Amino acid sequence: QVQLVESGGGSVQAGGSLTLSCAASAYIYGIPYMAWFRQAPGREREGVAAIYTGRGSGGTYYADSVKGRFTISQELAKNTVYLQMNSLKPEDTAMYYCAAATSLVSSWFQQADYNSWGQGTQVTVSS
């Protein structure tokens, strides 16, 4: 398994921006998929953004709710994946988790296929 450590969460006003970081304990060049999920109180965990990091290719996928506002990216030299979040809304408030899949996934946000998870970082957006 890969150890993942998230950082960058915090409290912002609606319309603001935050950048989350996920540092991996292994070379992400060799990890096929990494993703960000989130879970709001009383709601199920949902996929937000994913990136195909295998061989550094960088293909991405986003939930409809964040398209055009969030950007997932990778920095191979630092074994880190980022989630740039712009135009934040109160409904983006959640605990955000980084996840890694060390083999192929059946779909971008199939949580059962992601076998390493971070502890989460809280994002709170006030209106």
Burial class (CB in 10 A: 0-12, 13-18, 19+), 28: buried
pLDDT in tens, 11-27: 999 999 999 999 999 88
Q: Tell me if 18 sits within 8 A of 4, measured CB to CB.
A: no
pLDDT(56) > 90? no
Coil, strand, or helix at residue 90? Answer: helix
* d(C-alpha 5, C-alpha 16), whole Å: 23
Give the mean model confidence (pLDDT) for residues 96-116: 94
pLDDT in tens, 57-103: 779 999 999 999 999 999 989 999 999 999 999 999 999 999 999 89
Task: Residue 106: count other Cβ atoms within 10 Å of its Cβ.
Answer: 9
pLDDT at 27: 83
* d(C-alpha 30, C-alpha 126), whole Å: 38
Give the mean model confidence (pLDDT) for residues 34-42: 96
Write out the two tokens for 120.
Answer: 């989460």
CA 9 distance to own-chain centroid:
12
